[in-house]
Structure 1
Amino acid sequence: MSANQQIKSAVTYRMIAEALFDNYESIYDIHVDTNEYKTYFQSDFYQELKLHKEGRDFFSDLQEGIERIIAPEDQEYVSEMLNKETLLRMLEKEKYNRLIYRIRQNNSTIYHQLRATLQKAEDGMHILMGIKNVDDIIRQRIAHENQVASMKQKENNYLEAVLASAAAYLEINISKNKVLETSMRYHNENQQKIFQFPSASDIGSYDEMQKWIGDNLIAENKEKYLKISDRKYLTDCFVKGERRTSVLFSVYTMDGKKQPCRALFFLYREKVTGDLHVLCVIYDLTEQQSKEKEMQQMEKALSMSRIRNFTSQMQPHFLYNVLGSIQELILIDPQYASDLLGDFMIHLRSCVRAMSTDEPIGFSEELKNIRAYVNIEKMRLGNKLVMVYDIETEGFYILPLSIQPLVENAIRHGVRMRGKQGGRVTLRTRSEENVWVVEVEDTGVGFNVENIQKEIDLGKRDSTGLQNIRFRLENVMDAGMEIRSKEGVGTTVTVRIPKERQKRRIPI
């Protein structure tokens, strides 16, 4: 095989590896027979760990790295799982092998996930291994498990807790068919419109009380309510070890409207008499359903915003122009055409991902897409486009395809509209006390912000792209976007992302 062919094969292999391990902090390629290894990519964080980027024996060098950077309580586990024989045995059973461990950083630890797979190449089998920061996901999972445990603990002392937000409750001695107590609790004016329950002195029999509720109060799902609240059904639940059951239904209000409710039946044995008791707690679901509806509307709006953002990026003329230009370059400069095709693939993949989810990604990933897009534009604009990257930090999260459209807009107004004169676009990032700051500045024609906003409000001008980005940033990340512009000077768009929000979040 010639040298040129070897280089071409290596590039293709690298592209495959990067595609398989997109969003990883580090990517290793280990030859199974020789144990030789090399690193295709390392994030800023991983470079600070000062691990070997290549060597003759991965599994020998591994132990030194484990002892130096892995949390002490995870070292034995990682050593065992990354033993060559163990790793190969597991990869023969399953296509991917994953393990989670903690890396030490200063006085804290950060959860990481390692994902490995086997890949056949011309020179034999290789292990491709990607390492991803999953600290937010794991800590959210731990917090969730702690929350569940806390909820279970509270259920043991449920009486005070469950009644705090209840609209009504009944306490019943099931064994003796006796209503012990009834109570209505009003938390807002709407609940006062519900019919009153009779008191225990008015209707002392539980069977008669349930019949009254079914005849006078329930508007929807009466049959199910009467079945779940039946004494025999509740007794059978307790015998089977079920200490709680519930049913959804609607009740009539004073003005004839229907109000959604949920009844929870808590079953317990009274210690002194041994009688079976039930605490029936009724919750008003009006506010909950209203919030759920608002969330559904918000999710729908965000989904539509993602789709509009995607379609604005994937205009047919853009695709045709790029592919046509690459086609022309293939015969003139094959290597340049290959590089541009790689950039186009990166941009296309970012657009597709942004349409499917608004899950935040590391800024380094968004920057990778921006660089790919700028490379494509430089093919079309040549020396008329001067792109400056003033990147002080990449250590924060951003929505996919949220900054790249701002760069695209800056190129359109900062370069194209200036004709042969061209222009400069600058992308900056920096860390301030409470926020991460991203700025996109151009030396374009500029505009009067107030006049443009008036035209937008009157429907005379379309700003769907910027409005979509602002909407997504505000509603997903609590971020703000500011636009400053001066005619004949240029425009600066500033995005400020709260750091506190990123500490609380953010799954991959």
Structure 2
Amino acid sequence: MQIKAEVYEKQLSSHFVLNTLSTIHFLIDHDQPAASEMMQEFLHYTKHVIKMAKSAPWNSAEIEIAFAEHYANLMKMRFEECYNVSYDIDVREFKLPLFSCKLLLENAFYHGVRNIGEQGRMSIRTFRREDGRFVLEVSDNGEGFDVEEMWREAEKKGSTLWQIKTAVSEDETAELTVESHKTSRDEILEKWGDQIPPMNTVIRITSQNL
């Protein structure tokens, strides 16, 4: 089973498109250079969706990361100080499930850091292990969850993370791992105050070269 067709459609969902165009419309009146920059990012993002929709179920990490970066740039323009992503890309010559990097980043924001505001941090990292296998790591310092409970709910709902897990499970050389500590927004802010909390959820896809 491949990542479901509706995942393709969600990359250009009406909700996402309208929110993006509304932000561009606002910027045209208030910051034309920013409006132009956002329109360029949206065009790059859209071209990637169209091209990737015709791709095989697995894609190069280089393309997947570039797509996630365009998405992150659009979201940064919408949410400004509340959207912070860092990149540590050591390798790009390996394969990933289609849209997986962007989907994990999207998951990190909406289910992790969004509720903790400007202190939220996300990270995309790639590296090669000593055994020669490659790893994509997406982490965030937001609200965490019980992993076993998350998988039960993910299977029931057929969530994006479950669909990525299904895609990964079809390749015996690949692996998906999730680490998280169940914490609420209030617990995070009470413990860390104005400081930046450490990473709390880490999701890794381990794969091989192209």
Structure 1 residue 448: Cα displacement: 0.6
1:414–1:422 Cα contact (<8 Å) kept = no
Residues 422, 322 of structure 1: alpha-carbon distance in 2 compared, 3 angstrom cutoff: farther
| CA–CA distance in structure 1, aligned partners of residues 104 and 182 of structure 2 | 18
| TM-score normalised per structure 1 | 0.36
Residues 46-57 of structure 1 aligned to structure 2 (within 5 Å): none
- Give, in angstroms, the shift of residue 422 of structure 1: 4.1
Whether 2:106 is the aligned partner of 1:396: answer no
- The match for 1:426 is 123
How far apart, CA to CA, are the structure 2 residues paired with 1:453 and 1:477? 20
Identify which of structures 1 and 2 has the higher relative contact order when contacts are C-alpha pairs closer than 8 Å and 6+ apart: 2
Cα offset, 1:446, TM superposition: 0.3
Cα deviation, 1:35-92, whole Å, max 9, x if unaligned, reads xxxxxxxxxxxxxxxxxxxxxxxxxxxxxxxxxxxxxxxxxxxxxxxxxxxxxxxxxx
List runs of 5+ in structure 2 lacking aligned partners: 184-198
Report how far residue 476 of structure 1 moved.
5.3
Q: Does 1:482 align with 2:180?
A: no
C-alpha displacement at 1:359, in angstroms? 5.5
For 1:311 and 1:348, locate their aligned partners in 2 and report how far apart those are by CA, in whole Å: 12
Match of 1:492 in 2: 202
The partner residue of 1:407 within 91, 102, 105 is 105
Cα distance in 2 for partners of 1:402, 1:453 equals: 17
Residue 413 to residue 430, structure 1, CA distance change in 2 (3 Å): same
CA distance in 1 between partners of 2:4 and 2:52 (Å):
7
2:177 touches 2:204 (CA, 8 Å); kept in 1? yes
2:65 aligns with 367
3-state SS in 2 of match to 1:376: helix
Following TM superposition, by how much is the alpha carbon of 1:395 offset from its aligned partner in structure 2, in angstroms?
2.5
Q: Distance in 1 between matches of 2:88 and 2:67?
A: 16
Map Cα deviations across residues 373-419 of structure 1 (whole Å, 9 max, x no partner): 1111111211122211011122223333121110111111232122x
Identity of matched residues, %:
26
Query: Is the Cα contact below 8 Å between 2:83 and 2:120 reproduced in 1?
Result: yes
Aligned to 2:115: 417
CA 1:412 to 1:456, structure 2 compared with 1: closer, same or farther past 3 Å? closer
| Paired position in structure 1 for 2:190 | none
Larger helix proportion, structure 1 or 2?
2
SS at match of 1:429: strand
Taking only aligned residues, the RMSD between alpha carbons, in angstroms, comes to 2.1
Larger Rg: 1
Q: Matches of 2:104 and 2:140 in 1, distance apart?
A: 10
Deviation at 1:306, TM superposition (A): 4.2
Question: Which AA in structure 2 matches 1:473?
Answer: V
Structure 1 residue ranges without an equivalent (≥5): 1-300, 503-508
Q: Distance in 2 between matches of 1:446 and 1:470?
A: 19
The amino acid that maps onto 2:71 is: Y
Amino acid at match of 2:167: R
Q: Which consecutive aligned stretches of 4+ in structure 1 deviate over 6 angstroms post-superposition?
A: none
Which residue in the other structure is 1:334 paired with? Answer: 32
Contact in 2 for aligned 1:312/1:465 (Cα 8 Å) = no
Amino acid aligned to 1:484:
E
Deviation at 1:350, TM superposition (A): 2.2
Helix, strand or coil: the match of 1:356? coil
C-alpha deviation, 1:480, in angstroms? 1.3
